[in-house]
Structure 1
Amino acid sequence: MTLPVSVVVVSRGRPQALTRCLAGLAQLNYDAVEVVVVACPDGIAAVQSSPFAEQVKQLPFDKPNISEARNLGIGSAAGEIVAFIDDDAVPEPLWLTHLVAPFQTAEVAATGGYVIGRNGISYQWTARTVDGTGEAKPLPLEGMDPVLLSPPEGRAIKTEGTNMAVRRDLLAEMGGFDPAYAFFLDETDLNMRLALAGQTVALVPLAQVHHGYQASARRSSDRTPTDLRQIGASKMVFLRKYTDEKLQKRAWKRFRNEQRLRLLSFMQRGPLGADDVLRLLRGLNRGKAEGAARELQGLAPLPRASEGFRSFQAKPGAKHVCLKGRIWQAKSLRKQAAELVASGSVATLFLFGPSPRKHWVRFTEDGYWEQNGGLWGQSERSGAKFQFWRISTRFLSECVRISPVRGHDSNEFHR
């Protein structure tokens, strides 16, 4: 049975990223999905000028509070499951297929997948648990099958806000996300509440999204921090809720030192100066004071959607076509890939150069996936830095590597 899923996307100040995210959602291999966008005026305008305008539930919201925005989205979600993805992320076509599958087991309350970083191949986040100070640590999992987990004592199973799903009725009953977290630790707070309620969470390695870290009010496009106030406020709120008062001071000191070391690493690389580091740390301390003063209150249940399920036209059952060629054939192959997407397929273009250059992957404006790198270079960074390949065998190897998350048609591997 296919469970109806509402995908909630919050966007503020990043209309181009939002448009790209919607283009990625339009390639989902899932046949019961609706999309709810909660966005600032520029984001709403981007949706309305896109091909998806009539298919998307649009909720104007221009306040810098991601928890409030997500709660608006949950209140408009008519699906049995609510999934979340950031506006600067793009899902793999089989994302929802994998992410939702564990909900066929009645005890599963929430699921979380893996997040791929900026090179399009390496993981940014995988399996983790988190404690009452908000500190996460890796959770070793074997293989790529979904794993149902009950949290260990004093910890929660960590899911990422850009790649997670929760049963809609349970989430609404819990009051959704806590608005005391305007940004940072918002989903971690939900993880803790699920753990305290004894709920089962499934981690799903093959449910993957690509997360690009676009610029925002808190960081530049190269991830250099520009404001730590909200991070400080959310950290203090989290400590007040889940850490014994006697331990809060020690936990804050450890957190502040981690942030200081992070800023110093940026200063060593060049984006920040000494004055910037001091300014940002002062902002972090102001955030601490704000978080200490924020009112903590119970969360009221969220309303049911006033509008029924609005189907979003994705690509259930679409063929995944892989193309290959040399880097000097890029222009014609890119045109061919775009034409395949326009005709209803999912397409991946592999461009190989005569070198050991590392590979990178991106989802293009024309809606196809492009993997670019040296014929003898690494795709997965754990592999050999140099390995001799013939182009046909390298192509087939890469098609097989991505097929569990992007889908495949074996008859289309050798185009």
Structure 2
Amino acid sequence: MSTETLSVVICVYTEDRWDDILASVASVATQSLPAHEMLLVVDHNPVLLGRLCAHYEDDPSVVVLPNAGPRGLSAGRNTGIAAATGSVIAFLDDDAVAERDWLRHFAAAYEEPRVMAVGGRTVPVWSSGRRPVWFPREFDWVVGCSYLGLPPGRVQVRNVLGGNASFRRTAFDAAGGFATGIGRDGDRRPLGCEETELCIRLQRALPDAVVLIDDRAVIHHRVPRARESFSYFRARCWAEGLSKALVTRRVGVGAGLASERRYTTRVLPVGALRGARDALLGRAGGAARAGAIVAGVATAGAGYALGSLRARGGRGGTGGAVA
């Protein structure tokens, strides 16, 4: 049995997700391996902070606290890291629910001392009731979920995906926290990549560090209708390119795009061909999925090019993480 204690951090920012937040907390409360503690970090929203404090005032297992840094997800996570007392810190999206053995699978992986981070599998829950017929599974990272092309099982990867991830406390001692200036700021910027940059920095600080994904550590992530649209798909791909430019500026092109090269040269061409084949066979959405893959690559590439130009000009550039 694992001797690790697991703190769970859930970063929240809007009352619009009130029911989702309560469901996320409830899913942690019913884990087969109990959490050491839960921390709800509220991102510069005094009304939500007060409402959550009142709701959980009689529950000592839930700690509600304000983001102590600048607005945004990275600073919220850093606030949770600073307040957590567990030997492992897990992160769960505020609009996701964890399966009962989520923490148990995380804890089991840390029996190997070199393991410094463990991520899981994130399954989309489409608000419309079904996946849009045009939406390629290879691009599920657009909506914060695990995508077709990730290796199955418990495997070593470059980086975890931030909405379903855990780190040893000593990982942050060695590498520092999440970089602010990368990642989401509420709904205003559909950005990401902060976990990619952190995992690369971690493996540079600790060359023997192992980063894993265990696809048995499952969460179910709600995808709102607004994110089921092609306009959001394009915006998120554009932001992805901008973020990759910022990450490569910080860690170098070799490390920053190592996994992306395999993804764009192997996974996506197969997906596009699969869509074209489905179209020829008369299957619904085949041509649209192939077209979305091409559009997604082109949009992310354009975002990366612009972000790289901005970085060279000293203006920076920022937006999902590919493991």
Task: Tell me which interval the TM-score lies in, with the shorter structure as reference length.
Answer: 0.5 to 0.7
Q: Distance in 2 between matches of 1:22 and 1:88?
A: 10
1:114·1:125 contact (CA, 8 Å) conserved in 2? no
Q: CA deviation at 1:232?
A: 5.2
Q: Distance in 1 between matches of 2:63 and 2:309?
A: 37
1:107–1:243 Cα change, 3 Å: closer
Match of 1:67 in 2: 74
Gapped regions of structure 2 (runs ≥ 5): 132-136, 142-146, 185-191, 269-284, 290-299, 318-323
Match of 1:3 in 2: 4
Is residue 166 from structure 1 mapped to residue 167 from structure 2 by the alignment?
yes
Q: CA deviation at 1:51?
A: 4.4
1:7·1:84 contact (CA, 8 Å) conserved in 2? yes
Is residue 222 from structure 1 mapped to residue 244 from structure 2 by the alignment?
no
Q: Distance in 1 between matches of 2:82 and 2:151?
A: 35
Is residue 238 from structure 1 mapped to residue 225 from structure 2 by the alignment?
no
1:237·1:294 contact (CA, 8 Å) conserved in 2? no
Q: Distance in 2 between matches of 1:121 and 1:138?
A: 21
TM-score of the superposed pair, with normalisation by structure 1:
0.50
Q: Distance in 1 between matches of 2:173 and 2:246?
A: 22
Mapping of 1:399-410 within 5 angstroms?
none
Q: Distance in 2 between matches of 1:37 and 1:231?
A: 27
Is residue 205 from structure 1 mapped to residue 215 from structure 2 by the alignment?
yes
Residue from 29, 32, 37 that aligns with 2:32: 29
Q: Distance in 2 between matches of 1:113 and 1:64?
A: 26
- Residue aligned with 1:138, SS: coil
By relative contact order (CA 8 Å, sep 6+), the higher-ranking structure is: 2
1:173–1:94 Cα change, 3 Å: same
- Identity among equivalent positions (%) equals 26
Q: Which amino acid aligns with 2:113?
A: A
Q: CA deviation at 1:3?
A: 1.6
> What value does the CA root-mean-square deviation take over the aligned residues?
4.2
1:213–1:99 Cα change, 3 Å: same
Is residue 138 from structure 1 mapped to residue 149 from structure 2 by the alignment?
yes
Match of 1:410 in 2: none
1:45–1:195 Cα change, 3 Å: same
2:241·2:302 contact (CA, 8 Å) conserved in 1? no
- Residue aligned with 1:192, SS: helix
Q: Which amino acid aligns with 1:208?
A: V
- Residue aligned with 2:94, SS: coil
1:138–1:193 Cα change, 3 Å: farther
Match of 1:185 in 2: 193
1:88·1:214 contact (CA, 8 Å) conserved in 2? no
Between Structure 1 and Structure 2, the one with more helix by share is 2
Q: Distance in 2 between matches of 1:186 and 1:287?
A: 16
2:39·2:65 contact (CA, 8 Å) conserved in 1? yes
- Residue aligned with 1:118, SS: strand
How many residues are paired up? 250
1:113·1:205 contact (CA, 8 Å) conserved in 2? yes
Residue from 90, 100, 123 that aligns with 2:97: 90
Q: Distance in 2 between matches of 1:230 and 1:243?
A: 19
2:245·2:304 contact (CA, 8 Å) conserved in 1? no
Gapped regions of structure 1 (runs ≥ 5): 129-135, 150-155, 259-264, 270-279, 297-415
Q: Distance in 1 between matches of 2:306 and 2:138?
A: 29
Q: Which amino acid aligns with 1:3?
A: E
Match of 2:52 in 1: 47
Mapping of 1:10-409 within 5 angstroms?
10-13=11-14, 14-40=17-43, 41=45, 42-51=47-56, 54-61=60-67, 63-118=70-125, 138-141=149-152, 144=153, 146-147=154-155, 149=156, 157-183=158-184, 184-196=192-204, 197-198=206-207, 199-214=209-224, 220-223=226-229, 224-225=231-232, 231=240, 233-244=242-253, 293=314
- Residue aligned with 1:140, SS: coil
Q: Distance in 1 between matches of 2:23 and 2:174?
A: 32
Question: Which protein has the larger Cα radius of gyration, Structure 1 or Structure 2?
Answer: 1
Q: CA deviation at 1:238?
A: 1.1
